[in-house]
Amino acid sequence: MRVLAIETSCDETGVAVYDGAAGRLLAHAVHSQVALHAEYGGVVPELASRDHVRKTLPLVTEVMRRAGVESGGIQGVAYTAGPGLVGALLVGAAVARSLAWAWGVPAVAVHHMEGHLLAPMLEPEPPAFPFVALLVSGGHTQLVHVEGVGRYRMLGESVDDAAGEAFDKTAKLLGLPYPGGPALARLAEQGDPRRFRFPRPMTDRPGLDFSFSGLKTFALTTLRQSIPDPDAADAAQTRADIARAFEDAVVDTLLIKCRRAVEATGARTIVMAGGVSANRRLRERIDGAMADLGCRAAYPRLELCTDNGAMIAYAGYQRLRAGQHEPLGFGVRARWPMENLPAC
């Protein structure tokens, strides 16, 4: 079964073709809207929807050409149905549902975070179930116990900002361009890790929930106290030192909770996915901590950490193979708890 997938939950148009029989991705491509939203300092939902309208079909044509597949060679279509921006989701869902109807094949709605969670399955040595997944994206920070596709138990999540959101907001305070996460990580490379120490929120009590909104406030206070004159010669270094202290605090906090989750569940593998899992320092620290515990850490390749169609194609294939698909019609959801998904 070859599955065409469309992802349009936020500001990237992602399309992919996955071949289930061969167990491999035939082609995938992402069109990023970063340049479109940059001047606004964040994603403008209406602009995102309109750009998906322009880009989705040409990207489908391009990816199918690269995959060497004609319309008759697709046996199912998967689309991201949520969580995400409703207008943006509707574009991908409408295109996917229409193509499936025209081609006479089933269409399946995929949960965006399930896509992220299963992205490491596209790697040469996929992790084995059960595992603990740390999902760290712009909209979510979750620790999930995963026993199989659709068998998810939420262990903990952020009570306020997601990790990626905290990166983006703090980057903005530091005067960095959108999208802030990667820019902040780059600035942190020049920072002195000993200059400032930020708190590790909610690590002083039991439990696996997170809270990241206080770190952004801490960064703002530190910035105001340390740079009374923004034009001072040492202002650039101070910004880098704050970036480093912020990144260390987020990474440490995630690490402490991951270690706890592995100990609490007895899992031998931890999977990390979502945009923030592209963070180099986070990967290094998780690798080290898991090696100490005799556990394996698995990640998607860097290009599959952030939003893409490949992860939706893989998740969609698993669900179509289990006989799941949608009736003729479609809906999308801004919010959608992952624990309510059917098991495969």
Judged by the rule CB under 5 A, the positions of this chain that interact with Zn ion are: 137, 307
Q: What is the closest distance, in whole angstroms, from the C-beta atom of residue 232 to ligand KG4 in the complex?
A: 27
Give the helix, strand, coil percentages of the chain, each rounded to 5: 45, 20, 35
CA distance 135 to 112: 11
Q: Which is nearer to ligand KG4, 99 or 185 (CB)?
A: 185
| Residue 129 near residue 344, CB atoms below 8 Å | no
Q: Which is nearer to ligand KG4, 20 or 180 (CB)?
A: 180
CA distance 52 to 89: 9
| Residue 255 near residue 286, CB atoms below 8 Å | yes
Edge-to-edge order in the sheet of strand 151-157: 151-157, 141-148, 131-136, 269-273, 296-298
Q: What is the closest distance, in whole angstroms, from the C-beta atom of residue 117 to Zn ion in the complex?
A: 10
Q: What is the closest distance, in whole angstroms, from the C-beta atom of residue 78 to ligand KG4 in the complex?
A: 17
List the single partner that 167 binds among ligand KG4, Zn ion, none, CB under 5 to 8 Å by kind. Answer: ligand KG4
Q: What is the closest distance, in whole angstroms, from the C-beta atom of residue 178 to ligand KG4 in the complex?
A: 9
List the single partner that 180 binds among ligand KG4, Zn ion, none, CB under 5 to 8 Å by kind. Answer: ligand KG4
Q: Which is nearer to ligand KG4, 41 or 182 (CB)?
A: 182
CA distance 132 to 155: 9
Query: Which amino acid, 9?
Result: S
Taking each continuous run of H as one helix and of E as one strand, the counts in the chain are: 10, 10
Q: What is the closest distance, in whole angstroms, from the C-beta atom of residue 144 to ligand KG4 in the complex?
A: 15
Q: Which is nearer to ligand KG4, 84 or 106 (CB)?
A: 84
**Positions that interact with ligand KG4 (CB under 6 A):** 10, 137-139, 164, 167-168, 179-182, 185, 274-276, 278-279, 306-307
Q: Which is nearer to Zn ion, 92 or 191 (CB)?
A: 92
Give the other-Cβ count within 10 Å of 266's Cβ.
8
Q: Which is nearer to Zn ion, 198 or 212 (CB)?
A: 212
Q: Which is nearer to Zn ion, 137 or 141 (CB)?
A: 137
CA distance 88 to 49: 4
Please provide the DSSP assignment of 311-341 as one string.
HHHHHHHHHHHTT----SS----S---GGGS
Q: What is the closest distance, in whole angstroms, from the C-beta atom of residue 279 to ligand KG4 in the complex?
A: 3
Please provide the DSSP assignment of 261-301 as one string.
HHHHH--SEEEEESGGGG-HHHHHHHHHHHHHTT-EEE---
Q: What is the closest distance, in whole angstroms, from the C-beta atom of residue 56 to ligand KG4 in the complex?
A: 18
CA distance 316 to 120: 15
